[in-house]
Structure 1
Amino acid sequence: MQRSQSPAGRAHQESGMSRHYDVGAVRKEFPAVERITYLDAGFQTPLARPVKAAIDLFLREGLETAGPKSVWLDRVELTREKLARFLGVAADEIAFTKNTSESMNIAANALPLRAGDKVLMIHGDHPNNAYAFLNLRRKGVTVEFVPMTEIVNADSLRPHIDASTRAISMSQVTFHAGHRFDVESVGALCDEQGLYFVVDVMQAIGVVPIDAKAMRATFIGSGSHKGLLVPQGLGLLYWDKSRIELEPAYLAAASLAEVPADLIARPDQLELAPSARRFELGNFNLPAIHALGASLDMIEALGVQNIQNHCLDLGDHLIAGLDALDVRLVGPRDRQHRAPHIYVIALPAAEWLGHFEQNGVRVSPERDGIRVSFGMFNTFADVDRLIDIIKRRGVKPSSRAA
């Protein structure tokens, strides 16, 4: 059931302001959102001025000094520490990757899975999480898909666990309809049953508060071009360092506990780094890591809890507008079970996507309709404009609420 709003909350909606932070000030950092109604943060976020400034600094230093590499690498470690604090973990449990898919593949191949072992996943979850584990079928590993329902928690998965089950892998938030799975209860179940737990937080991070330790995850993977505000090409991997038995499927000098000073490989010196560096191959995406340092500062200044609550308020406003038009929402409505920022409207994408584009509204097509995804910069006026565009065109009976 949708939570009723306080009079103060309704007053902020009517004024177009947020109860949680100065959205007007935030919007000034995202020039693109002044040009179009941007409701597509679940695909990628527009570039923010502080993020661009961090990339510009990197480029200027490379242009003017040929690159102060030691300074850049020091900044990598500062950003690693910021990211660790953001997730509630130690810095030596964080590795940098290229994207979520690489993180999921690193995790899948690090688990000591053998022929006959089983991994549980959610049907319809992100395909690249699934493919990382489906690829293990060549080793005789079985993947079983559990039905996706509005509520997915430990009780959803428990009946599917048997003697062959070794791991569960799932998203925290689904990309296609904004389900928010109860990953904490699933993590507790994995702890109870002695299972590995791998979580894709790509659609959650930067909007939903994440406590990796409360999640009891073995690995957490993500990219950075959605809620973390960074252009594509940078991912992250959290590794629970108590799981020392987990090793990378590949090896580079950067993965080792001691890199040979003369850079001559020695077959008798292959001890892995005790940190998550064991999963890195070196040569970082330096401009993107510079950008991530700036974006984490932005997010921390607002507070991720405030960003979440603001997006939930926007979602309440959107749902109310859709209800008034008798237009159906795909996915959960209850705040407890829905992502704060991802909503799919039951309007056929083939018929509606071009209409929104023509009216200066950026959204995404999804398997069940049109996906609206909010960022820290969106306002109630953005929602009102979307609803007005739908209202003016009108909807067919197939899109109406049951």
Structure 2
Amino acid sequence: MTKHYDVEAVRKLFPAAERLTYLDSGFQTPMSTPVRRALETFIDEAYETAGPKSVWIERMEATRAKLAAFLNAVPEEVAFTKNTSESMNIAANALPLAAGDNVLMVHGDHPNNAYAFLNLARKGVEVRFVPMTETVNAESFRPHIDARTRAISMSQVTFHAGHRFDVEGVGRLCAEAGLYYVLDIMQGVGVVPIDVRRVGATFIGSGTHKGLLVPQGLGLLYWDRTRTELEPAYLAAISLARPPADLIARPDDLEPAPTAARFEIGNFNLPATHALGAALDLIGSIGVENIAAHCFDLGDRLIEGLDACGVALVGPRARAHRAPHIYVAALPAEEWLDYFASRGVRLSPERDGVRISFGMFNTAADVDRFLDVVRERGVRPGRSPRAA
């Protein structure tokens, strides 16, 4: 039991966390028992009855409603996609950008956010990168706005060092300057609280295989439905306000749906939406604020231990600027990753070291195990953390 919730009870729902020291939820969260059960229910129904599709769609819409409530949105503002990259591309291509316009982004942010906008160079749209610093807020962007700036796109949390940016302050700047605002919440959602009303973004995109606990293949897209001028770059019957009942295309009726369904195309990843419903129930039973507070405590313990080992932390140290759950230790990945794996510790290589990323199931013992493995290799204060 921690002071925030019964983490030992939660841990029992993640069997992989019992078999190894899993510190890689920033890459992919291990499957929980509730998610597995939801998937098994879908598989059993498909196997035994070839699928009650109307029931599956009802469950999907129930998940959409849960997801909307989780984001402080309404269901009509939430679309399902394949992943964050698709969400970012949908958003970039929906903005009414023309030759000579520019979009501001943070240098070194996730590449698939950047590529969605860099691809608009074929239309004459320019991407301008502002420096990534420990603190990124409205003032980071303000000096770079000119008469042809049309949008800002950024992440809530960086994947490579756990910066947590002032996304609400940037939202206020966009409202003040009349800019579109596209936000990637992939690395934060499920651990870092998000309120779309307070953020004020035009679009918010994410996948679900990290803090939202679902296997890869499902994403989400929030759309500010007051921005009715934003239309999809592609179209399917499901995207229309009035899909033809006889499934014969009508060239004279192409009005997009008044909801975020305008950005959906084709069939859905139904099993994943069922899994997401179960995951949201689990997250809701704990509370994102409690998950964040628990991960912050683990992060404090990790930073203290790294300092004692003489290993530098890459990225911000202060709680005000760091994500609760993502930390990079300055241990060269090419020298340390296999060593950690041989000791049963799962983590990811990153630009400047190895990334330790916590989930709701991690404990202080996981942090201590990581630090013990570091010390086993002979790292001590005053000595280089590089392998001999």
TM-score range, shorter chain: over 0.9
Asked whether the 8 Å contact 2:105–2:128 carries over to 1, the reply is yes
Give the AA of the match of 1:362: R
Q: How many residues align?
A: 384
Question: Hey, what does 1:258 align to over in structure 2?
Answer: 242
Question: Hey, what does 1:295 align to over in structure 2?
Answer: 279
2:173 corresponds to 1:189: yes
Give the AA of the match of 2:4: H
Tell me the CA shift for residue 66 of structure 1: 1.1
The structure 2 residue matched to 1:357, chosen from 341, 356, 368, is: 341
CA distance in structure 2 between the aligned counterparts of 1:55 and 1:201, rounded to whole angstroms: 25
- 1:316-395 map, 5 Å: 316-395=300-379
The structure 1 residue matched to 2:34, chosen from 17, 30, 50, is: 50
Question: Hey, what does 2:89 align to over in structure 1?
Answer: 105
Tell me the CA shift for residue 397 of structure 1: 4.2
Give the AA of the match of 2:277: G
- 1:108-137 CA deviation, whole Å, 9 max, x = no partner? 000000000000000000000000000000
What is the TM-score when the length of structure 2 is the normalising length? 0.98
Give the AA of the match of 1:284: F
Give the AA of the match of 1:335: R
Give the AA of the match of 1:323: D
Structure 1 residue runs of 4 or more that deviate by more than 3 Å after TM superposition: 395-400
Question: Hey, what does 1:9 align to over in structure 2?
Answer: none
- 1:189-228 map, 5 Å: 189-228=173-212
Question: Hey, what does 1:20 align to over in structure 2?
Answer: 4
Classify the secondary structure of the residue corresponding to 2:139: helix
Fraction of identical pairs, as percent = 73
Over aligned residues, Cα RMSD in angstroms? Answer: 0.9
Structure 1 stretches lacking a partner, 5+ long: 1-16
Question: Hey, what does 1:168 align to over in structure 2?
Answer: 152
Give the AA of the match of 2:153: S
Give the AA of the match of 2:210: K
Give the AA of the match of 1:89: A
Tell me the CA shift for residue 282 of structure 1: 2.8
Classify the secondary structure of the residue corresponding to 2:172: helix
Classify the secondary structure of the residue corresponding to 2:204: strand
- 1:146-191 CA deviation, whole Å, 9 max, x = no partner? 0000000001110010111000000000000000000000000000
Asked whether the 8 Å contact 2:310–2:383 carries over to 1, the reply is no
Tell me the CA shift for residue 398 of structure 1: 4.6
Give the AA of the match of 2:144: H
Taking a change above 3 Å as real, the CA distance of residues 161 and 398 of structure 1, as seen in their structure-2 partners, is farther
Question: Hey, what does 1:146 align to over in structure 2?
Answer: 130
CA distance in structure 2 between the aligned counterparts of 1:177 and 1:77, rounded to whole angstroms: 35
CA distance in structure 2 between the aligned counterparts of 1:364 and 1:19, rounded to whole angstroms: 28
The structure 2 residue matched to 1:35, chosen from 13, 19, 43, is: 19
Give the AA of the match of 1:164: R
- 1:85-124 map, 5 Å: 85-124=69-108
Classify the secondary structure of the residue corresponding to 2:150: strand
Taking a change above 3 Å as real, the CA distance of residues 332 and 131 of structure 1, as seen in their structure-2 partners, is same
Classify the secondary structure of the residue corresponding to 1:57: helix
CA distance in structure 2 between the aligned counterparts of 1:64 and 1:290, rounded to whole angstroms: 18
Give the AA of the match of 1:43: F
